[in-house]
Amino acid sequence: MAKKAMIEREKKRQKLVEKYAAKRAELKEIANDESKPMEERFKARLKLAKLPRNSAPTRLHNRCQLTGRPHAYYRKLKVSRIALRELASNGKAPGMVKSSW
């Protein structure tokens, strides 16, 4: 189980990303538009830099929904390998068969 603080920090980052997504996209549009004057593009870059650092989507990290584990994460299922194995053992993950050889 991951630390509660780490899970909460990740939730906080997710909220910030959602809150600033539109503003960030708008500023990036201006900054990357080559038809606009250089000064205007530069001002857009400065405004973009002033936004909170945690509002950037690259700061997010995938975590298991059940345990908060950051490694060995299956994107489709949104759980870690350990949680998936536990679910499969309990018969809660349909279609999973325990292998033996």
pTM for the whole structure: 0.78
Where along the chain do its domains lie?
1-60, 62-91
Neighbour-count burial of 97, counting CB atoms closer than 10 A to its CB (0-12 exposed, 13-18 middle, 19+ buried): exposed
* Residue-averaged pLDDT of the chain: 93
Q: What is the pLDDT of residues 65-75, one digit of tens each?
A: 999 999 999 99
Looking at this protein, which amino acid is placed at residue 66?
A: L
Can you name the CATH fold of 1-60?
Helix Hairpins (1.10.287)
- Collapsed DSSP state (helix, strand, coil) of residue 43: helix
Average pLDDT over residues 1-28: 93
Percent of the chain with pLDDT over 70: 100
What is the per-residue pLDDT for 98?
80
